[in-house]
Amino acid sequence: MDGIDFHIQPSAPEPIYRQIVEQVRRLVAGGQLAPGDVLPSVREVAATHAINPMTVSKAYSLLETEGVLERLRGKGMAVAARPAAAAEDARWALIAPALQAVARQARELELAPGEVLARLMRTMEETSE
Amino acid sequence: MKPVVVEHAIASADSKAPLVAAGLTRRYGQREVLSNVTLRLEPGQVLGLLGRNGAGKTTLIQCLLGLCAPDEGESWLWGTPSLALTDGIKQRLGYVAQTPEAFGWMTISEMLDFVAPFYPQWDHDYVRRVRERGGISVGKPLAKLSPGERQQAAIIRALAPRPDLLVLDEPAAALDPVARRALLRDIAEHAASWGCTVLYSTHIVSDLDRIASHVAILHHGKLLLHEELDALKERHLRLHVPAAIAAGLEPSLSGELSRHRLDDGALRLLLLCAPEAGLPAALDVPEVRRETLTLDDLFVEVAG
């Protein structure tokens, strides 16, 4: 993974450090980042996106506290080894806000739950092709 | 719009703080261009000073650097009064004025070669890199360059000595998007490499989003808000309250910053609330749509 792989929107309401935290959590939970994989250095991420390095440090430190990352001596940050059950829970926790948003909007639009579910399944099939 | 309560750290002379201002007030005739501004920067902070044109940003910076005297109040750089800065303090300071005019008869290379020997920590490597990056005509005297080029030359001159405190007055105003991005990257790198403290004034919100650790909003000479950028984004919420719920709402809620009643009786509320405290019970229902704010939105709500 390189610094450029982070998708960062500086002007979004969500603080930049949170954007980084969320992306790393998602990549780790989804398996795109495996235990032991080394993350790009603070300096590289900051330089690539022209953002404050302290923001990147803050995100990495938070992920370290959560146990998602671990600090390797002299090599920077790497994905920590995690039990499989925790990873499953973490994946559901990550998608929960999106599911809640869909549920709320569907209710506002008075769409039938069964129909929403069917369309979601169809959408997932289409995007996986 | 209600006044925002700005929480001040105790402001007084402090040799550790790169910059402290206490109650700065400056008048031009009857007009008060700065009103009781109190501010404190800790080492390593990157403060974005946001304000509309004419808000008093340049006057504030000039007072802080001792370039003009306030009518009331005082300010210090590392505990030394702004109006009595020593050469030792000036060596640690980098400043880029809004319209740089110094050394107009020299080319950029002549200017940089001329000033470099004055600074023991001069960063030759950085100067070489920005020269290679191009974007500035090397053959013409500075006075003949475009405003953007002159501004870049002044920024290089301010960054190369590796200052401990960097003060930039609307540095990106004349720069094109490419040069602006490069400037932000340079500032961020300097702040990280040797803990340089930065004060950066602008009216362009998107310049701050990337590099600021803190944001202050100056409006009609008053400091309306001074907070960590991340906390600012996390604590402000805009709520859309439908008429049925709006009717039963108290006239003033805790943390309420503004309230707009729409034609159909619905309300648009701007609230400041700590994430852990949550919303008032009456508003914590699915019918109330909540929206987080961008820095842009906030600036318009506060200073619009």
Bridge partners (DSSP) listed for residue A76: A72
Residue A52 and residue B46: Cβ atoms within 8 Å? Answer: yes
Query: Which two tokens mark A44?
Result: 């590289």
Measured between beta carbons, the chain B residues lying within 8 angstroms of A47 are 185, 188-189
Q: Which helix (H) or strand (E) holds A44?
A: helix A42-49
Residues B257-289: tens digit of each pLDDT: 778 888 888 888 888 777 667 777 778 888 888
Residue type, A2: D
Total Cβ atoms within 10 A of residue A2? 10
Q: Which residue of B has its CA nearest to A19?
A: B230
Range with the poorest average pLDDT among A39-43, B73-77, B257-261: B257-261
So what's the pLDDT on residue A83?
57
User: Where residue B233 falls among pLDDT bands split at 50, 70, 90?
Assistant: confident
Residues B155-213: tens digit of each pLDDT: 889 999 999 999 999 888 788 888 888 888 888 887 777 778 999 998 888 878 888 99
Predicted-complex ipTM score: 0.73
Cβ atoms of residues B25 and B36 within 8 Å: yes
So what's the pLDDT on residue A86?
63
Residues B122-150: tens digit of each pLDDT: 999 888 888 887 777 778 888 888 888 88
Considering only CA atoms, which of B112, B145, B105, B146 is closest in space to residue B131? Answer: B112
So what's the pLDDT on residue B34?
95
Bridge partners (DSSP) listed for residue B107: B141
Residue B84 is classified by DSSP as G
Considering only CA atoms, which of B207, B193, B210, B47 is closest in space to residue B121? Answer: B193
Residue B188 and residue A51: Cβ atoms within 8 Å? Answer: yes
So what's the pLDDT on residue A129?
62
Bridge partners (DSSP) listed for residue B228: B214
From the list A10, A14, A18, the residue facing B210 with the nearest CB is: A10
SS3 B140: coil
Residue B213 and residue A107: Cβ atoms within 8 Å? Answer: no
Reply yes or no on whether the pLDDT at B4 is more than 70: no
So what's the pLDDT on residue B2?
44
Query: What's the mean per-residue pLDDT of chain A?
Result: 87
Residue A54 and residue B181: Cβ atoms within 8 Å? Answer: no
Q: Which residue of B has its CA nearest to A59?
A: B230
b/e B4-28 (16+ beta carbons within 10 angstroms → b)? bebeeeebeebeebbbbbbbbbbee
Q: How far apart are CA B130 and CA B254, in angstroms?
A: 50
Q: Give this prediction's pTM.
A: 0.78
Q: How far apart are CA B161 and CA B155, in angstroms?
A: 11
Measured between beta carbons, the chain A residues lying within 8 angstroms of B233 are 13-15
Contacts of B136 (CB under 8 A, 6+ apart): B108, B145, B149, B152, B153
So what's the pLDDT on residue A5?
86
Reply yes or no on whether the pLDDT at B6 is more than 50: no
So what's the pLDDT on residue A85?
56
Q: How far apart are CA B115 and CA B117, in angstroms?
A: 6
Torsion of the alpha carbons at B173, B176, B178 and B184, rounded to the nearest 10: 0
Residue A83 burial by CB count (10 A; 0-12/13-18/19+): exposed, middle or buried? exposed
Query: Which two tokens mark B91?
Result: 């060596």
So what's the pLDDT on residue B5?
42
Considering only CA atoms, which of B5, B23, B9 is closest in space to residue B302? Answer: B5
Q: Which residue of A has its CA nearest to B230?
A: A15
From the list A15, A43, A51, the residue facing B230 with the nearest CB is: A15
Residue A39 burial by CB count (10 A; 0-12/13-18/19+): exposed, middle or buried? buried
Residues B14-73: tens digit of each pLDDT: 888 999 999 999 999 889 999 999 999 999 899 999 998 889 999 999 999 999 999 999
